Amino acid sequence: QSALTQPASVSGSPGQSITISCTGTNSDVGGYNYVSWYQQYPGKAPKLIIYEVSNRPSGVPDRFSGSKSGNTASLTISGLQAEDEADYYCNSFTSRHTGVFGGGTKLTVL
């Protein structure tokens, strides 16, 4: 199972919007709505920020949103804040009843 494809890094200035893509196949991202996103600070455990493509857990700011088109899911962060600087990972359920993560994207807030 190959990792989902994410850009290695993205950057943006405070207040701007950024989008992180996550590309898979028909057997994972494209085949199911079980795509989730995780935020991870250095030395810390990941935190769930989006589940089932576009749903936000309680407590996650509405600046975070998710979507999907075909085999590509996307995470958008609007109104970028300094505290958003972190690593972001997508994850998908697969047709083999396994899971697969993306390679991760480092977000830098300029």
Partner 1 sequence: EVQLVESGGGLVQPGGSLRLSCVASGFTFSNYWMHWVRQAPGKGLVWVSRILPDGSGATYADSVKGQVTISRDNARNTLYLQLNSLRVEDTAVYYCVRDQRVWILDYWGQGTLVTVSS
Task: Write out the residues near partner 1 by the rule CB under 8 A.
Answer: 1, 3, 34, 36, 38, 40, 45-48, 51-52, 57, 87, 89, 91-93, 96-104
Q: How far is the CB of 91 from partner 1 (least distance, A)?
A: 7
Helix, strand or coil, per DSSP, at residue 21: strand
CA angle at 24 for the pair 23 and 28, rounded to the nearest 5°: 140
Nearer to partner 1, 15 or 52 (CB): 52
Q: How far is the CB of 79 from partner 1 (least distance, A)?
A: 25
Dihedral (CA of 34, 35, 39, 40) sign = positive
Q: How far is the CB of 29 from partner 1 (least distance, A)?
A: 12
* Cα–Cα distance measured from residue 83 to residue 72, given in angstroms and rounded to the nearest whole number: 26
Nearer to partner 1, 15 or 44 (CB): 44
| Lookup result for tokens 């300029």 | 110
